[in-house]
Amino acid sequence: MTTYFLLGGDLRVNRLGYGAMRLSDDPASRPADQAHIWRAPVERAAAVALLRRAVELGVNLIDTADSYTLGGNEELVAEALHPYREGVAVATKVGVARPGPTEWVPLGRPEYLRQQAELSLRRLRVERIDLLQLHAVDPTVPLADQVGALKQLRDEGKVRHIGLSKVSVEQLAEAAQVTPIAAVQNMYNLVAREDEDVVGYAAANDIAYLPFFPIAMGGHTGSGSPLAGVASEVGATPAQTMLAWLLRRSPTIIPIPGTTSLAHLEENLGALSVKLSDEQYERLSALS
């Protein structure tokens, strides 16, 4: 298993990134999949320290979005990491409006996407975004127009690589007719595998696949579960074992687990050293 991937063919990133979305609000207020991602983190100094520690431990792909805390998450990343260490890449997303704390509205008008990218450049304090992703496809705007706006930004030297999020194989193929797509970010983990066809398409086309919510929760993770059994066998935690399964599932998968805990951050990165046998991998694969 390789521990790095050449995103877009030239951007070397380690195969465990960090998703900054959870660095908002009060992390203890609600589960990760129900968080509003609306306000700045309660413990800002701790969030800054966590981002810096992630880079110290070898993370060189940080994922954020203009819609996380209304741009505040990008500002937090810049506060912690600017000037960016050589080799550290920041990915962000545009294309979702936030009229309120519980609303995520796809907005893909080309002028809006370009404006938001300009704001992201300012908040991240960079002249070029390493990976700019369309956060969600707006069904009211032709996909070619949405992707075309990102291509225009790349042609202007403001974007290095283009990615898509929450898309199907058909949408990926359609977007590729406009410009090369370097990454896709969809939900995928050990027990949520509705996206198998996209994972396969990404692998076949050398596209980075960044699964969000890569660490699943639920009864299958409990004591006595098959996952717990494999984790015990390899001397790892269930979270590390799930990440190790993802890393083996496809050579283009780059999990981006998010956490507000330094201990969990270090635990997650330990997945890079977890080795699964063929039998253990197959046993985990049967959990879906």
Neighbours of 99 (CB within 10 A): 9
Tokens of 211: 């699964």
Task: Please report which residue ranges of 131-255 form alpha helices under DSSP H.
Answer: 143-155, 169-176, 196-204, 226-234, 238-249
Tokens of 94: 């545009």
CA separation for the pair 255, 257 (Å, rounded): 6
E strands present in the chain: 4-7, 11-14, 18-19, 61-63, 89-94, 96-97, 105-106, 129-134, 159-165, 183-185, 208-209
Location of structure tokens 């074992």: 241
Would residue 188 show up in a list of annotated catalytic residues for this protein? no
CA separation for the pair 143, 124 (Å, rounded): 26
Closest by CA to 117, choosing from 104, 99, 130, is 130
Q: Beta 96-97 vs 18-19: how paired, if at all?
A: unpaired
Q: Give the N- to C-terminal CA distance of the chain in Å, as an integer.
A: 23
Catalytic residue among 68, 84, 201, 209: 68
Active site residues: 68
